[in-house]
Amino acid sequence: MSDAALPQWRRRTTRAELGRWFGWLALVALFVFCWEIMTQDTIWAFVTDAPTQGADIVGRMLPPRWSYLNALWGPLWDTLNIATLGTLAAIVLGVPVAFLAARNTTPSVTFIRPLALLLIVASRSINAIIWALLLVSILGPGVLAGIIAIALRSIGFVAKLLYEAIEEIDHSQVEAVLATGASPAQVMDYAIVPQILPAFAGISVFRWDINIRESTVLGLVGAGGIGLQLEASLNVLAWPQVSLILVVILATVVVSEWVSARVRHAVI
């Protein structure tokens, strides 16, 4: 029996194989095209020089100026407040939006739901620091602009995850409460809220954790917190202070992530 007589096995048909190759080729072509456009003004001498520059900066950064730590407690407190108060505000505003956006709780699928979804995508598309840039230009620099910026960015995040959780609830529990003759508000309280409460707590704490990280940089555009010190130190090229600030940020973020993981673990 010759080899040709044996049945051949191939993972894909020729057509599928061709399609895959074409897909990959298109991706590579897109990458090369974008790369060419992006780097047309790049000065390669600077890029090749980067390792030396990087080593130089690291050399200047070390050792961190530990004594500067005492000047950072105030800004750190502000950073914490921006994240926490901003998250709280986002929760207060985001929860109603979530109920308006969820298919099973919205008062109107044709009018209100698309509006709520638009609000969510608008809030999610714009980064907190851009909101901060805008708010500093409107309200002036300060912690308030930071809080509002964090809140505006987080509304969409909280509302999106929460409305997905609302849409996934077990409908039979709602039916059961409805069948007892409960009013809509009671159905909300007895059938819907208990089902989404764990998701709600998880989402809130998760966003708080992200917001801690975001609020460390809001100061760069004047919206308060430890970013202000970073900006000031960068302006005078005080690299040892920069490195200390980076260490403090790293520690804060690690701690907040740990807290958030613990809380989420506790509520689920």
Partner 1 sequence: MSEAAAYPSTWRRPPAIERPLLRWGLVAGAVLYLVLAVGSLEVNWLRVYEGLERGWRFVAGFLHPNFTDRWEDIAIGMQESLTMTVTSTAVGILLSIPVGIGAARNLAPAPVYYVCRAFIAVARSFQEIIVAILFVAMVGFGPFAGFLTLSFATIGFMGKLLAEDIEDIDEAQAEAIRATGASWLQLINYGIQPQVMPRLIGLSLYRLDINFRESAVVGIVGAGGIGATLNTALDRYEYDSAAAILILIIVIVMIAEYSSSYLRKFLQ
Partner 2 sequence: MLRLQGLTKRYPTGDLALNGVDLEVPAGQVVGLIGPSGAGKSTLIRCINRLVEPTAGSVFLKDEELTRLRGAALRRSRRRMGMIFQEYALVERLTVMENVLSGRLGYVGFWRSYLRRFPPADIARAFGTLDRVGLREFVDKRADALSGGQRQRVGIARALQQEPDLLLVDEPTASLDPKTSRQIMRLLREVCAERSLATIINIHDVALAQMFVQRIVGLRQGVVVYDGAPEGLTPEVLTRIYGEEDWTRSIRRDDDDEASPPVIEEACLEGLT
Is the peptide bond between 51 and the residue preceding it cis, with omega within 30 degrees of 0? no
Count the neighbouring beta carbons within 10 Å of the beta carbon of residue 76.
19
> Is residue 238 near partner 1 by the rule CB under 8 A?
no
Nearer to partner 1 by Cβ, of 72 and 234: the residue is 234
With binding defined as CB under 8 A, does residue 134 bind partner 2? no
Q: Tokens 């105030």 label which residue?
A: 74
Neighbouring C-beta atoms of residue 154, cutoff 10 Å: 29
Amino acid at 110: T
Q: Among 2-10, 79-87, 100-108, 164-172, which window interacts with partner 1 (CB under 8 A)? A: 79-87
> Which of 75, 91, 88 shows the shortest CA–CA distance to 215?
75
Give the list of residues 6+ apart from residue 144 with CB closer than 8 angstroms, or none.
Answer: 224
- Under the criterion CB under 8 A, does residue 29 sit at the interface with partner 1? no
The count of residues interacting with partner 1 (CB under 8 A) is 54
Window 150-189: contact mask with partner 2 (x via CB under 8 A): --------------------x-xx-xxxxxxxxx-xx--x
Among 65, 72, 84, 195, binds partner 1 (CB under 8 A): 84
Q: Which residue in the set 1, 50, 179, 185 belongs to the binding site for partner 1 (CB under 8 A)?
A: 50
Greatest pairwise CA separation for the chain in angstroms: 86
Report, in Å, the least distance between residue 174 CB and partner 2. Answer: 9
Report the candidate in 222, 204, 129 with the shortest Cα–Cα distance to residue 159.
204
Q: What is the dihedral of CA 100, 103, 109, 115, to 10 degrees?
A: 40
Phi, psi of 42 (to 5 degrees): -70, 135
Q: Determine the Cα–Cα distance for residues 261 and 256; give it in Å rounded to an integer.
A: 8
Q: Report whether 226 contacts 245 (CB < 8 A).
A: yes
Using the minimum distance from each CB to partner 1, give the nearer residue, 73 or 175: 73
Residues 193-212 within binding reach of partner 2 (CB under 8 A): 194-195, 197-198
Give rounded-to-5 percent helix, strand, coil for the chain: 80, 0, 20
Taking the least distance from each CB to partner 1, the nearer of 47 and 112 is 47
> Which residue's CB is nearer to partner 1, number 5 or number 236?
236
Residue type, 225: G
Q: 158 or 174: whose CB is closer to partner 2?
A: 174
Told to check if 191 binds partner 2 by CB under 8 A, we report yes
- For partner 1, the binding residues (CB under 8 A) are 27, 30-31, 34-35, 37-39, 41-43, 46-47, 50, 53-54, 57, 77-78, 80-81, 84-85, 121-122, 124-127, 129-130, 133-134, 137-140, 142-144, 147, 213-214, 216-217, 220-221, 230, 234, 246, 249-250, 253-254
Residues that bind partner 2 (CB under 8 A): 170, 172-173, 175-183, 185-186, 189-191, 194-195, 197-198
